[in-house]
Structure 1
């Protein structure tokens, strides 16, 4: 079994049991495959919303939602208001149904989730509809964090997958070969950077048109600062999560060693108790033998006195 298959199984474990199960799986393969054991040890604990998405992916419940994405994107491109409204209603219905299904799966697994987590589940499904690469990610069963769609930008998948190399590639929408998630994201960013901002006809204002008001750059700077702060906070949170997982692993190892030491002490105590019991039995036997010897001696002495008379 490869790392992706092991990861898919572990990511289905309830969050409260994840670290212990990951440690057990890592130890079970350490002798046969140290590289796999190392990879398992580095597997991140999934965020609650990602865990719910992985449960849905395991049940094969995300296909209809992801497949609805291209139809929505086409309707938006065609600017067909009626179709857009219909598809949006359908999208809302599908997302609500999936969120409820995810809540039921989490409860069945003994780990009910909060409304805030279900909101992140909805946001992740929306991102899967908006971006085919995100769609491939959520259907993979390897998601470790929630996703979010930001307008027309590609969904950020950095650090979102336990094993990015194992995720099926999303198609580019043409006859070209599949584009990997990483390269597709980079290509689209490059295309946006090289794309002209407007055509010549749009750049030339109408002679009678009123001058456009200058755009205030302050809100944009504020939003950019907010996004940067959010990314930094997310990075810090991921680092803290990895540190916490490492601490839990260390604590689990200490506990296992303590349990082994206690078992050794218990076995030593049992051996000592058995030895004490053996020595007590030997002592009792010796005392009994001594009593018998005294009885024989006393009988011999009595017999001897009787012969003397």
Structure 2
């Protein structure tokens, strides 16, 4: 098995068991392929939402959802509100069904997930529909972090795959733009509200008497949601880096423990050999002393016999 296949198998392990399984697999391949063992040791533990998406990918459940993406992109390009409305409803139904299926798979694996995790699962599936590169990423079964579609920007795929080289379509391929349906819907609502406001102002009768300037409410400063999300992603990336460093330290400590146990086994074996040698030498000493005693007895008997003959 290559690293991508090893990673796909490990990423399906429940998060609570991931580190132990990864360490066991790393040890199993170390004697045959040290480079592969090193790569396995560096595999990041997936975020819970990414784990659920990988379970869905392994189950073949994401194909229909991702295949809905081109139709959504075409409807967006054609600006057909009826088609967009129909496809948006289909998208919601598909995403909800997949989220429920993912929750069932996680529960069957003994690791039920929270509503917050399922919200990230939904966002990841929607991003896969919106961006063909994200679609390739989620279908790969190599996802280690959830995805998010932000406005009209392409989905950020930096650091979300265990083996980016194994999923070239996540970085190249179709040049179709992402589908910011939610943003476009919000823009259309804002545009309609603006038109209604202007229409109401035109229909309103002019007041009698001199006009008085009414104080205009100060607009609230706009929040830069994209910047906030990017900051959140940076914080999440930093947390994942810390987790990866902790995992690497754990692996190093585990290797040191293995070496210490091997050394202790060698020392124990040497001690057993030394104890056996001491026992053998002790027995030889006892045998030599017994032989010496017998020799003295024989000598004494011979001397006594000679004295008897001399008389």
**If the TM-score is normalised by the length of the shorter chain, which range does it land in?**
0.7 to 0.9
2-structure distance, mates of 1:79, 1:214:
34
Match for residue 220 of structure 1?
223
The CA deviation at 1:159 is 0.8
Aligned length: 278
Note the residue ranges of structure 1 that are not aligned, 5 or more in a row.
170-180, 190-197
- Measured against aligned partners, the alpha-carbon deviations of 1:139-178 in whole angstroms (never above 9, x if no partner) come to 1111111122334543221111112221162xxxxxxxxx
* CA deviation map 1:272-305 (0-9, x unaligned): 1111111111112112212222332233234334
Q: Go from structure 1 to structure 2 and tell me whether the alpha carbon gap of 1:94 and 1:39 turns closer, same or farther (over 3 Å shift).
A: closer
User: Which residues of structure 2 form unaligned runs of 5+?
Assistant: 179-186, 203-215
Change (3 A) 1:47 1:250: same
Q: 1:3 to 1:84 in 2, by over 3 A?
A: closer
Output aligned runs, 1:1-309, within 5 Å: 1-19=1-19, 21-23=21-23, 25-26=25-26, 36-70=36-70, 78-80=80-82, 81=85, 84-85=88-89, 88-104=92-108, 106-107=109-110, 112-115=111-114, 116-167=116-167, 169=169, 181-183=170-172, 188=177, 216=219, 218-221=221-224, 223-309=225-311
Contact 2:123 2:148 in 1 (8 A): yes
Cα deviation digits, residues 76-110 of structure 1 (max 9, x gap): 75433466445533442332123212331x31xxx
Shift of 1:16: 4.4
Q: Which SS does the other structure have where 1:103 is aligned?
A: helix
- What does the per-residue CA deviation read over 1:258-282, in whole Å, with 9 as the maximum and x for residues that have no partner? 1122112112211211111111111
Query: How far apart in 1 are the matches of 2:238 and 2:119?
Result: 22
* 1:13-53 Cα deviation digits (max 9, x unpaired): 44445445545555666676665455444332222322232
Task: State the TM-score, normalizing by the size of structure 1.
Answer: 0.72
CA distance in 1, matches of 2:4, 2:172: 20
Q: Which one has a bigger Cα radius of gyration?
A: 2
**Contact kept in structure 1, 2:148 and 2:156, CA below 8 Å:** yes
Q: Distance in 2 between matches of 1:229 and 1:186?
A: 27
Query: What is the root-mean-square deviation in Å for CA atoms of aligned residues?
Result: 3.8
